[in-house]
Amino acid sequence: MKTTRHGAVLGLIAAGALLLTACGSDNNTPAGNATSATSGAAAATPVECGGKAKLNAEGSSAQKNAIDTFIQAYKAKCSGQDLAYNASGSGAGVKNFNAGQVDFGGSDSPLSKDKGEVEAATKRCQSNPAWHLPLVFGPVAIGYKLEGVKDLVVNGDVAAKIFNGTIKKWNDPAIKALNGSATLPDKDIKVVYRSDESGTTDNFQKYLKAASKGAWTQGDGKQFKGGVGEGKEKSAGVAQAVGSVDGAVTYVELSFAQDNKLSIAKIDAGQGAVELTGESVGKSIEGAKIKGEGNDLVLDLDSIYATTTAGAYPLVLATYEIVCSKGYDPDVAKAVRAFLTVAATDGQAGLADAGYAPVPKAFQDKLLTAIKAIV
């Protein structure tokens, strides 16, 4: 990992790392060390290395930089072991996991029962259920490029109307009402969206549905349904496109917005404008609840999207590693357990520098229980 690439992100997330590792925990680790709680868990958690020498995984591009961090930690912990990750997007990750072409998939959304994904995953896992393991948390930015405007505020209603084409100009009265005396140009809004199937798109549209109070009626899903704008592939593609066009706006993970020097909108959920910071992300993740059963750790994020908690940034994405609970060949199961154990412990220490937030302690404990049970 190149620490210089994400240096700007570190300042945003590092404070949140303190909050997140303490979230829901009775661990009395000194607050001065942002990774001490995670490091303590890592030191106490044995890793049984071995099995398949090179795992294959595919999916979410939102977690690509986090997976790179996990791979480095895995190779350091388990000499001779490796993992190849193809950041092809959540849709492809689910499809190829269910087809048995990769050892696990990465998705920003849970498997869909209605689309047959749950049934297909059960078949792939030799008639055993697949589990969702939320290993990566990260904020999604409403990133934009607008000359002369660096401090933009939106809310759920305005964001929905921008991304479904109802609001077409940057000086629209609804935007001006949230931005006081700011000078907004009479310029067309150019929406850029993910053209490939994306869990980021699904999460963003679910946010718009929950937070817009009826303005977003287009639904959700991994395909963008706003009916406006220009599509680009993957997180890097949309961020690069916005960075090259004045008046453009998109939804994208924080690290990609930072990499492309995009301005990031504040979000007003009813308690004042909230900047995307480590602390504001931490307040949102504190409210995340698990709605899956047993070791299937599916999160209920609806309460986050529609939060009115003061100081909470509501656009937070959780990425799942989708694994077989049972049904792997023994050498694959052993390597999958080893990689995921390292990712949930040692690997978390490097996430702040890669633009993400470490998993809360309570989540880490649940993750390790689930990982240990994979066979």
Query: Binding site for phosphate: residue ranges?
Result: 60-62, 90, 108, 198-200
β-strand partners of 274: 267
User: Which residues fall in the annotated binding site?
Assistant: 60-62, 90, 108, 198-200
Label the pairing between strands 104-107 and 248-253: unpaired
Taking the C-alpha atoms of residue 183 and residue 171, their distance in angstroms, rounded to an integer, is: 8
Taking the C-alpha atoms of residue 321 and residue 26, their distance in angstroms, rounded to an integer, is: 26
The DSSP line for 43-85 is HHS-----SSSEEEEEE-STTHHHHHHHHHHHHHHSTT-EEEE
Sign of the Cα pseudo-torsion (104, 107, 110, 112, in order): negative
Taking the C-alpha atoms of residue 49 and residue 81, their distance in angstroms, rounded to an integer, is: 8
Cβ within 8 Å of residue 133, ≥6 positions away: 297, 320, 321, 322, 323, 340, 367, 370, 371
| Two structure tokens written together for 178 | 């949230």
